[in-house]
A and B are shown apart, each in its own frame.
Chain A
Amino acid sequence: MKGKSLISINDYSKEEQISILELAAHFEQNPIQKILDGYVVATLFFEPSTRTRLSFESAVNRLGGKVIGFSDSSSSSVKKGESLKDTILTVSNYSDLIVMRNPVEGSARYASEVSKVPVINAGDGSNQHPTQTLLDLYTIRQTQKTLDNLHVAFVGDLKYGRTVHSLVQALCNYNTTFYFISPNELKLPSYIKMNIKNSNLKYYQLTDMAEVMSNIDILYMTRVQRERFSDPLEYERVKDAYILKRDMLTDIKENMKILHPLPRVNEISEDVDDTPQAYYFQQALNGVFVRQALITSILGIK
């Protein structure tokens, strides 16, 4: 993967994804190694995302590399009207790798085409956020010891959630059975369902998560936001159906784990946090190991 930008999860083959996950397991065992001495990674955040930025910067710092960049566009030359192309060309003179988050969809792909150094997409609007997908895959593999033949339920806003879209696309490589539980207004878009159909996999669309609880290995929760509804009354009517409560975790498989891309609002009630199924905080920690694996692979160090 040396020199290969990661913009969209499908840019990496199944084998390349697995090799990142295996290397991430190695960094989980040894997170502090001074192997990036002398390397400079630029983190260009055109919109703030503290969680993602800190995860990348922690990954680089623990490997002894240096980070340059900005955390939102108000403090940069971008505000003065510089084009993305000029910013990327300039920064690629100063760095070995660019990590970019930008609210404009497709900006990461474009940056990778003009940049002299590889680019990692840390989120381009509603489009892609592939390192989140890798860390989701890593966490699923960590908890289930495999990625193959799992039953995975997605709950909440499946229409706008890019995290869900990318993870569904990635899981199509692993013979997954999918359960999609959402309000009617926030169903998974048909172009994502097309990926599942093309892979000849099974999926079920429901509005009530209670029906699937006993079947699933992974419960992937997402936020349902009021502003996504055209009718606010509809939001009020359905919102409670997509909140996970402790008493719903009675008839479940032993290996079942709950994931969430964080931050959560109220879709997982806090009394779920200390159940053996809650795994969303470990999931967030895995982001550092996965990003260490990705950065060192792209720089050709590991």
Chain B
Amino acid sequence: MVTELKVSAIENGTVIDHIPSKNVFQVIKILDLENFDNQILFGTNLESKKYGTKGIIKVRNKYFADDDINRISLVAPKATLIVIKDFQVVEKRRVEVPDTIDGIVRCFNPNCITNVENVATKFKVVSKDEVILQCHYCEKNTVKKNISFK
């Protein structure tokens, strides 16, 4: 309850909970929240019983498509999505690693066309457990520890 008070409740919208504290800004970037007009509240380094500390983001009057929200699984694999209508939780679920990742991740291969010319990246997720992304263009794998964002 204490952590909830630090970032106030919303009437309608989406709460993304259990984000690793250090990745809150990454999630903001992946979801492109910087360019939203909606009211956004976020907190980092909040206490979490499960994980020590956590981050949380609340976006007022916004509901995300599954494909959009699942992209954050790359930096927040244990995040919970909470959909709120009239102050009530109407849906609560874990994010899932999607089958494909478009646009947000950089290919780890410096000689890939996506790093040489202005070409948007596309990856097939070949392992959801280990998070291994295979580039649609150069076919090389980008593993979790090498993932960086465009």
Interface residues of A (CB under 8 A from B): 8, 83-85, 103-107, 109-110, 124-128, 191
Contact = CB atoms under 8 A, between A and B. Distances in A.
A110 B141 CA distance: 17
Interface string B102-141: 0000010101111011110000000000000001111111
B138 A127 contact: yes
A107 B139 contact: no
Contacts of B135: 106
A107 B109 CA distance: 13
A106 B118 contact: no
Given A104-B111, A106-B112, A85 B117 contact: yes
13 contacts: A85-B117, A104-B111, A104-B112, A105-B109, A105-B113, A106-B107, A106-B112, A106-B119, A107-B113, A109-B113, A109-B137, A110-B113, A127-B138
A105 B137 contact: yes
A109 B111 contact: no
B116 A128 contact: no
B141 A106 contact: no
Contacts of A107: 113, 116, 137
A105 B140 contact: yes
Contact of A105 (B111, B117, B118, B141): B111
Contacts of B119: 106, 110
Nearest to A190: B141
When A and B form their complex, which 4 residue pairs have the shortest distance between CB atoms, in order from nearest?
A106-B137, A105-B138, A106-B138, A106-B113
B117 A83 contact: yes
Interface hub of B114, B117, B138 (most chain A Cβ within 10 A): B138
A12 to B, nearest CB: 15
